[in-house]
Structure 1
Amino acid sequence: MKNILLFFILFSSSVLANTHQHNSQSTHKAHSYVGFHGMALILAGDKILASHLPLYAPPHDYQIVYEVTTNNTNLKKIKSVLKKAANEQRLITILPAKFDLNLLINKKTPTLNITVFNGHFERGGKELFTTKLTFKNPLYVEKVTTDKAQKNAFSLVKLTEQQGLIIHKIQSKPSYDSLSLVPLTKGEYNGELKCNTAINTALKSKLEACFKSVPSYLETKDLSVN
């Protein structure tokens, strides 16, 4: 009798474990991050940075910034495009071929086929050229959360001893995505890592006043309340 009872206990445990595993796999598949993930490109000194264009919902609910590189010929080409765009305060975006964003979420270093656009690739941007980009160094990977009350939180990423990148953390709706390059002194930022901002037409000027630098990238439209 004891043996029979033990058999049923073990059998039930096995069924429950398999059911849990199946449910976990189904949940994972339901939150697939395979798709087309547009990004903004900016030039930071001698580095090229790619910033994933985040949204509130999967498969785009991650703020991700990587240092990227490519072969010498296209590296010079991209840097030239970015320098000109920065001087004219224009946006340069890229659209990689369909891929799994989990590669970047898990801080892997893939090489992806990408198309470079003058302007926003979804808002009338002009296709410039195609190339391959290697995502060589993860600088910032954070999941977008909308359940935190603090609306104006910023993170500082040290790029070199002389330059840092300030990123606005998306925490509640409505919000915005911004990247500001700031000078560092021996790897330290001498300013304040805060800015009381409202999402309006003066946002860009307010960020510039706070960080003494025109934002290299600023997006509000995709992060308005939906």
Structure 2
Amino acid sequence: MKTFAALMLLAGSAAAADVTYGEHGMALFGGKEGLYASHLPMFHAPHDYQVVLQVHVADPATDAALRQRLDGKTALWTIAPEKFELSRLAPQAATPLRQFKADLVLGHFEQGGKTQYAASTIVVDKVLFFHKLSPEQRASVSSTYMQIGDGQQRYLVKQIDSRPDYDHIIAYRAARGAAHTDITVIKRGLSQPNAAELAAALHAQRNTIRGTIYFYTDDLK
């Protein structure tokens, strides 16, 4: 009979064999209407996937406090999680990842951010987007943004579809009953589109664009 230590070693070896195993930092955004996490991708394993999740914090008090602090704001928060296999978030994963432990950080967890809620349990409610990135160099003349959120408090997340590219998350306030569709804007290199361009694509007023939550290019060159 195998000892407990031996079983744990075997389990660790199996996890390490999955090329997506690692510490998968995420941008955290949302508010009272919903919480979301967007994996911070790169063009190499184990981070070569763009993944967007709808989540909540298992502890109700922490969840409520976090939503209150994020609500209507564009300050960057990030998730510094324990290591896990990103492949377990795939729609057809054999053993789906239901939850994981993570520090919730005000700012970027690798760039001077400050932990606000340590060792929180993050529950994965829904995988909204899961896509493997291609490492090939290629250009795109347009950028497509996914709409995240069903109420008035919504977000635009750029689909990473070229190399080099940029990771971009925007907060905006939708009109009641506004369509929940992807939008496309002209791409100008690695420059983010301005509020007027985004509002025009949404058929909305410019002042509905609240601002950028996250914009980064260095990891996508």
**Comparing both chains, which one has the higher relative contact order based on Cα–Cα distances under 8 Å and sequence gaps of 6 or more?**
2
Q: Which of 76, 87, 112 is equivalent to 1:91?
A: 76
In the comparison of the two structures, how many residue pairs are matched?
A: 190
Residues 67, 196 of structure 1: alpha-carbon distance in 2 compared, 3 angstrom cutoff:
same
Structure 1 residue 75: Cα displacement = 0.4
* Equivalent residues of 1:166, 1:181 under 8 A apart: yes
Q: State TM-score, norm by structure 1.
A: 0.72
- Select between 59-68 and 181-190 the one with higher mean Cα deviation: 181-190
Deviations 1:120-174 (CA, angstroms, capped at 9, x unpaired): 1111111222211101111111112244432533142452154554321222222
Aligned partners of 1:173 and 1:36: how far apart in 2? 23
Q: Which has the higher strand share?
A: 2
Alignment partner of 1:215 is 2:212: yes
* Equivalent residues of 2:27, 2:78 under 8 A apart: yes
* Equivalent residues of 1:66, 1:136 under 8 A apart: yes
Structure 1 residue 181: Cα displacement = 3.7
Q: Which has the higher helix share?
A: 1
Determine the structure 1 residue equivalent to 2:170: 180
Deviations 1:89-135 (CA, angstroms, capped at 9, x unpaired): 42110111111111112363511111011111111111222211101
Aligned partners of 2:32 and 2:117: how far apart in 1? 23
Residues 168, 177 of structure 1: alpha-carbon distance in 2 compared, 3 angstrom cutoff:
same
- Select between 29-38 and 96-105 the one with higher mean Cα deviation: 29-38
Q: State TM-score, norm by structure 2.
A: 0.74
Amino acid at match of 1:199: L
* Equivalent residues of 2:155, 2:171 under 8 A apart: yes
Determine the structure 1 residue equivalent to 2:124: 135
Residues 134, 69 of structure 1: alpha-carbon distance in 2 compared, 3 angstrom cutoff:
same
- After superposition, the CA RMSD in angstroms is 2.7
Aligned partners of 1:189 and 1:79: how far apart in 2? 22
Alignment partner of 1:74 is 2:62: yes
Q: Percent identity?
A: 26
Matches within 5 A, 1:22-33: 32-33=19-20
* Equivalent residues of 1:95, 1:115 under 8 A apart: yes
Where in structure 1 are there 5+ consecutive unaligned residues? 1-28
Alignment partner of 1:160 is 2:157: no
Structure 1 residue 72: Cα displacement = 1.1
Matches within 5 A, 1:11-50: 32-50=19-37
Deviations 1:175-208 (CA, angstroms, capped at 9, x unpaired): 10112244265351589522333324xx3xx342
Aligned partners of 1:99 and 1:155: how far apart in 2? 27
Residues 190, 121 of structure 1: alpha-carbon distance in 2 compared, 3 angstrom cutoff:
closer
Aligned partners of 1:190 and 1:94: how far apart in 2? 27
Determine the structure 2 residue equivalent to 1:18: none
Deviations 1:8-46 (CA, angstroms, capped at 9, x unpaired): xxxxxxxxxxxxxxxxxxxxx876111100001001551
Residues 165, 145 of structure 1: alpha-carbon distance in 2 compared, 3 angstrom cutoff:
farther
SS at match of 2:212: coil
Where in structure 2 are there 5+ consecutive unaligned residues? 1-15, 200-208
Q: Whose Rg is larger?
A: 1
Alignment partner of 1:122 is 2:119: no
